[in-house]
Structure 1
Amino acid sequence: MGVKERMPVDIQIVAAMVLLLDIFVFVLPQSTGFIRAASGMVILLFLPGYVLTSALFPGKDDLEGIERLALSLGLSIVIVPFTGFALNYSPWGITLGPIVAILSIYILFMCVITILRRHQLPEGEAFSISLISVFRAFGHEVTSRRSGLDRALTIFLLFSVILATATITYVLVTPREGEQYTEFYILGMNGTAAGYPAELEIGESGNVILGVKNHEGETVNYRLELRLDNRPLHLAEEYRDIHIEDEGEWENTVTFTPEEEGDNMKLQFLLYRNEDLTEPYRELHLWIDVGGDQDAV
């Protein structure tokens, strides 16, 4: 057998598309966003069901062209959401990287199964594909003498499957805005939401634990500032600029020293995001007395 017989054309195209998407996702994630999204939609929309259909029906007479296409799309509706459901209970969660990795392994494995099954068939009986044969098969289905109702139902079913698959794929690969956020919290020195410093003398230092958790879906540079009654307080330089990767966490002890006396003063902890210093992205505050009786809230 020649090389082309051992590696069918359609399987070559499937493997090439999978490897191309893997490069876009894992090697060039920043510079190829549009291409990555477009190729990812095509692959998730069609290939998982196509390789399963090819493995189940390796013969050219097993299915007609439009039936093979509709079944490929329909099976993708089952496979892709099932993959997302399984990843939801894994440490990786439903994100683009794990979904692409799992589906890539599955698709390439099914490609091997398809090749083996086709090789078991007599010469000339295995399914093969070309663009000309696809268009001819589709045209035959549309222009055949089957009743107009049958043709209409077939076309309606095909486009319904395409629409449903595209919708499910979009939901899986597109993060919802509500899931992108930053946790910003303050703890007392005992590690609980209590025991905050509420009464200090001028020049006396207070300590709290500040924490930041990044759930923004990307690496973020944060900036921390402290204010007492809207006047800046000194903060160690190492705490002013905080670099946190996606799903990363920063937690540290922050020391502040009031320099003015007053009762019921507002101590603000301001968190800015990605060099935007116009408005705080998150804010926390405590009430403290400096040089007087404490009355913290």
Structure 2
Amino acid sequence: MAALQLDGWRHEYSGKVRDLYVPLGSAGLADADRVLVVASDRVSAFDHVLEPGIPGKGELLTTLSLWWFDQLDGVPNHLVPDHGIDTKSLIPAAVAGRAMLCKTLDMYPIECVVRGYLTGSGWLEYEASQTVCGIPLPAGLSNGDRLPEPIYTPAWKAPMGEHDENISFERTVELVGAEAAAALRDASLEIFRRASAIAEARGVILADTKFEFGADRTTGLLTLADEVLTSDSSRYWDAASWQAGTTPRERMASFDKQIVRDWLSAHWDQTGTPPELPAEIVEQTAARYRELLGLLTAA
């Protein structure tokens, strides 16, 4: 899909679900002082972009990210000051509601994954080896169980078209240095704990998520970037279903793109081009995204 032409901005890069624009006159991200981060309606699973997209998804996820940035007071983030007030006039109308005006950072090549519950690929590994990303866990856990403590399981951010790779903490030290690796881990675990408490107070479980960080180009300060705690980057479950459920699936009624993952797993062997998502799966996913936003942001 061709990038939009936005007045005053030049398309610089497209990831799986987001597009980046730099001001006209900038050579690229390296010399730009700000970047426009536009969330598309594209949806990805198993490192593939799927068709069709989820209508309204970009605006839903941007709204949720901005809400979470507001909740995480004291955590430096990449939004330009007074985002949403003084900056509204700087965001082109064509992407209003699904774009964030952000400072450019020197991004770390690490996806900072935190898991509070045993599920997904972690559950499959635990069944085989009683570990998750090589981290030993207690015996006797079931799919969907809460872990004794959240665990940090970083991944290397692969280029577009390649698969992200789970890596050890020691490998992150090799990639970014001991000080930065420790800071990424500690910040991720602390933000996860804060966000989990906020979500649980609203009847929602944050099962796992991924964060991305960069270094402020002026101060070097560790800065939270990209989307944060959205339905795309996180697993969210209904707390009441989790507490009352008698089977793993009942326990994990989700507010994320698990519907897409489940349908794809049942209809695709992960070779070749993924099949097109049926209309009912698209609408169910959009409905769950909308429901999560309402639950979290309700006064």
| Normalised TM-score (structure 2) | 0.21
Q: Which structure: greater helix fraction? A: 1
> Which is greater in Rg?
1
Q: Which has the higher contact order (CA 8 A, sep 6+)?
A: 2
